Amino acid sequence: MIFERGHFRLKSINESFVNESLREVKMFSQNKPYSNTSTVFLSHKHSDLEDLKGVMGLLKEYGVKVYIDSMDNKMPKETSGETAKRIKEVIKFCRKFVLLATEKAIESYWCNWELGFGDTHKYKNHLAILPIKEKGSYDFEYKGNEYLQIYPRINYRKAFTNYQGHFFKEGYYVENADDNYITELSVWLKQ
């Protein structure tokens, strides 16, 4: 399943969760961890704000802290080598890396660079793609299909039983592209 734009915005996300996350990001320091809570570097295109807020709210509901570079008050005002250095430090520090893979993000040089760096430091157990397509488009039209063939991705599934008889409840999962291994998102975030 590739999520449509607005999927997460339509969820009943508590706006105070999002605001709290934004406040935490402004004070983020890899020298002073948030707490014992897992941290997620959320790579995104800055113009995808509405989808970003919904995903932040979802992750916050799972009890993780979310880092968003555009809200970091330690980022330089102008994009520079210092920007890249800060992003590299934070990706290394954060436990997980998630790419909010909208079509704009897939076309972004920065998002692709972050994904490459995340691939080096987080692949495969701590990196996932969250694919989001344009409303009304078909899955095969999604520009990031090649990402879905190599990276674990976040998916939503109805309740099901696998071929080994293991029951999976309805919810969000991280699925590995190469071995069909799936993990509940809440479990994956804490690993």
Q: What are the backbone angles phi and psi of residue 161, rounded to the nearest 5°?
A: -120, 130
Q: Is the pLDDT of residue 98 over 70?
A: yes
Mean pLDDT to the nearest integer, 78-107: 93
CA atoms lying within 13 Å on the CB side of residue 112 = 9
How confident is the model at residue 155, as a pLDDT? 94
How confident is the model at residue 33, as a pLDDT? 52
Closest CA to 154 of 174, 170, 139: 174
- pLDDT band per the 50, 70, 90 thresholds, residue 7: confident
Locate the DSSP E strands across 63-121: 65-67, 96-101
Domains in the chain (CATH in brackets) are: 3-190 (3.40.50.10140)
Residues 158-170: tens digit of each pLDDT: 998 877 888 889 9
Closest CA to 62 of 17, 116, 115: 17
Supply angle C-alpha 187, 188, 191, rounded to 5.
90
Closest CA to 147 of 188, 97, 84: 97
